[in-house]
Amino acid sequence: MTALLLIALLGAPPPEAAVRFECARCHEAPDLPAAPPEKQCVGCHQRILAGSFEAEAPLLTRWQRRLTSLNHAPDLRGARRLRRSWIAAFLQRPFDVRPEQPATMPRLALTAADADALAAWLAPPDADGPVASGDAARGALRLMQLGCLACHQFTGVTLPDVSLAGPIPFAPAELVRGRPRAPDLTWTRDRMTPAAAVAWLQNPTAFVADTPMASYRASDEDARDLVAFLFQSPLLQPPPPPVPATPAPLDRPVRWPEVEARVFKHVCWHCHSDPAYALGDGGPGNTGGFGFPARRLNLASATGLASGLLDATTGQRRSVFTPGPDGKTPLLVAALMARHAEVAGRPVAGVRGMPLGLPPIPLEDVQLVVTWIAQGRPR
Amino acid sequence: MRAAFSWSLAGLLLFGGAALACGNEVYLSKKTQEAAVAKAEAQLAAGDAASAVRGLMRAAHYPPMARRFEFAFSRRPLRLRAWRVAAIAVVRTPGHQPFDHGLPDAAPVQPPRQLTWARGVLARELAARPDDPVVVALDAEARGAAGTDALEDLARRDLMPDAWAWRALAAGRAHRGDAAGRDAALTRCRAVATPGVTCDDAPTLL
């Protein structure tokens, strides 16, 4: 009984899954030790942006200019305002909650039990609270007046006349910080109970200490009315975005240096690097991580790419140029196109979309890869 | 003697703790032993084994201080890369003798012993990473005719890592009297060749 009371007061310890899936590579989380510096994704990017990363100044400047992804990840201590069931479902099928944040939660190899354990660690049990009882019409008006839409989107909702919105009450720096962190409000009714949403609006810093909403404290009336609008307004389901077809090869020659610069050294090698260059850690896609076993795929060079990966089923080396599940598209291209399908809400069975949790490789760059392969992979 | 020891110690302190890397470029950006090995690898890939060896020896201050790779490249992954470069340089140098002053671990200098040393280095790497096509291909290239089957297996599985491997396979097929197979391998060699790799003809195997 005493132990249960302590857990209730202090929070449950991290489950084994939190360690196995390396949540700490990106997130801060209750009672979860920070990842070592060389394994941190967000921490590494933040050090680069702050200029404290150990690298030469010209490199730092170049990186700082193009760093857009994984500069921030939600502090998992804030997840206790969310529904436990929503967290579990989201972990198994993540989608883009924050439209201005390029990276999303990656699609990890979580079982339902893993997702349940993580959700139970992060959020209290679901409880049927009172329904939102405020004035939804006034809530819509206050949403405009308070400038919420300066950072948030509210997809699928018919909003009041924009002329009702006053001047944006935020400094440019606040908007730069706030927009990537702002969830699309269309998901609020799924993510939280009305009571939790009211509590959040009344005192955001009680949940997340450094939230961009730190300066905001809703009155009781505003909180209830805003939540009524967020939960009760009809949502129009936008049509699902189309899944693009694999592009056809180009007519012009494409050689390795071009695809390396545009695709592999631009994104892929962060997780598929050469362990000989990086303290023996080739990243999650090579020596393993994020719960994935070592797949030994090195995308830091043409030689590494040509060396294939360990097949998850057979444990044998397999060329990434052999056909994927459809029997014709090279596995490498299939993975790049699967990411496009995931973003469109239609994950492909048997192929994890790459890059993991990042925006899809633009189709014109996929086309370069397709062309390079079709032309015999010239170096 | 004391001065030499001090410099060795200073070298260890300077080069032993490298930057933590979230991106490989960090190592390449450092003007230290990492850069020397990376440059030697690039020279080797470009077919300039002699420059690769000279660069490694300069980085290791070897000779005249006779410091060996164990001291100069104190971090194990870097040392393995340096050894690998040295071994491949031996394999790809006509006469198999790029080291005029003894090998990185002070083995005798005669060409047959240098080739034996190189094969030993690559065989140890293969034992550690038997499923890595790069290592399999290098070991096979070093073993000459005896390595042809391993290269054929890589080619069958579309896992040939580079033009050097295709060139070695062409040599192996030529050694077996398979002229058509040799030409096919040389065609693939040319298709994926980088500057410095000669794919006009297969080297003769012993």
* Residue of higher predicted confidence among A90 and B47: A90
Which amino acid is located at B187 in the chain?
Answer: T
Q: Kindly determine whether residue B20 and residue A279, on different chains, have CB atoms separated by under 8 Å.
A: yes
High-pLDDT (> 70) share of chain A, %: 94
Q: Kindly determine whether residue B77 and residue A55, on different chains, have CB atoms separated by under 8 Å.
A: no
The predicted-structure confidence for A181-221, as pLDDT tens digits, reads as follows 999 999 999 999 999 999 999 999 999 888 888 778 889 99
Residue A68's pLDDT is 85
Residue A162's pLDDT is 67
Picking from B62, B32, B139, B194, the residue whose alpha carbon sits closest to that of residue A301 is B194
Residue A56's pLDDT is 81
Cis peptide before A172 (omega within 30 of 0): no
Whether the predicted interface score ipTM is above 0.95: no
pLDDT band at B62 (very low <50, low <70, confident <90, very high): low
Residue A137's pLDDT is 92
pLDDT greater than 90 at residue B22 = no
Q: Helix (H, G, I), strand (E, B), or coil: what is residue A261? A: helix
Q: Across the interface, which of A38, A269, A317 has its CB nearest the CB of B133? A: A317
Please report, to the nearest 10 degrees, the dihedral formed by the alpha carbons of residues A313, A315, A320, A326 taken in order.
Answer: -20
- Residue that is written with structure tokens 């909180």 in the block: A223
pLDDT greater than 60 at residue A5 = no
The predicted-structure confidence for A72-88, as pLDDT tens digits, reads as follows 899 999 999 999 999 99
Q: Kindly determine whether residue A280 and residue B77, on different chains, have CB atoms separated by under 8 Å.
A: yes
Element (H or E) spanning A61, and its range? helix A57-66
Q: Kindly determine whether residue B192 and residue A321, on different chains, have CB atoms separated by under 8 Å.
A: no
Among A161-175, A213-227, A313-327, B45-59, which is the least confidently predicted range? A161-175
Considering the entire predicted model, what is its pTM? 0.85
SS (H, E, C) chain B: CHHHHHHHHHHHHHHHCCCCCCCCHHHHHCCCHHHHHHHHHHHHHCCCHHHHHHHHHHHCCCCCCCCCHHHHCCCHHHHHHHHHHHHHHHHHCCCCCCCCCCCCCCCCCCHHHHHHHHHHHHHHHHHHCCCCHHHHHHHHHHHHHHHHHHHHHHHHCCCCCCHHHHHHHHHHHHHCCCHHHHHHHHHHHHHHCCCCCCCCCCCCCC
Residue B56's pLDDT is 83
State the nearest Cα–Cα gap between A165 and chain B, in angstroms: 44
Could you tell me which chain A residue has the CA closest to the CA of B18?
A279
The predicted-structure confidence for A240-291, as pLDDT tens digits, reads as follows 889 999 999 999 999 999 999 999 988 898 889 887 766 667 889 998 999 9
State the nearest Cα–Cα gap between B26 and chain A, in angstroms: 6
pLDDT band at A6 (very low <50, low <70, confident <90, very high): very low
Mean pLDDT of the B42-54 span:
88
φ, ψ (nearest 5 deg) of residue A158: -85, 115
Residue A270's pLDDT is 86
Mean pLDDT of the A312-332 span:
93
Which amino acid is located at B51 in the chain?
Answer: S
State the nearest Cα–Cα gap between A302 and chain B, in angstroms: 8
Q: Across the interface, which of A38, A316, A376 has its CB nearest the CB of B22? A: A38
Which of the given ranges, A115-119, B13-17, B38-42, has the highest pLDDT on average? A115-119
Contact A107, A353 (CB under 8 A): yes
Average pLDDT, chain B: 78
pLDDT greater than 50 at residue A4 = no
